[in-house]
Amino acid sequence: MPGFIFQSLIIGGGYGTGRELVEFFLHEGPISGLVNMGVATIIWSVVLAICFEFARKRKYYDYRSFISGLLG
């Protein structure tokens, strides 16, 4: 469930419709597009894991505290 919430907050509906996938990843061909989608997935997964660890270590349990701590 956290992955779906993260996608809706950060990525938004663009990837959900599929149009951005075609525009950004598939213009160089299907194999290259799949590799690039995999790289993007890994990058977003690392960012999400870092955010979760930051929130866990600082004991932020709500979005407002998390953003305040993140932005300083």
Rounded distance, CA 26 to CA 60, Å?
38
Averaged pLDDT for residues 61-69: 91
pLDDT at residue 46 in the model: 93
Taking the model in full, what pTM does it have?
A: 0.68
pLDDT at residue 28 in the model: 86
Q: Are 46 and 40 in contact (CB under 8 A)?
A: no
pLDDT at residue 13 in the model: 64
pLDDT at residue 31 in the model: 93
Percent of the chain at pLDDT exceeding 70: 78
Per-state percent for the chain, helix, strand, coil, to nearest 5: 90, 0, 10
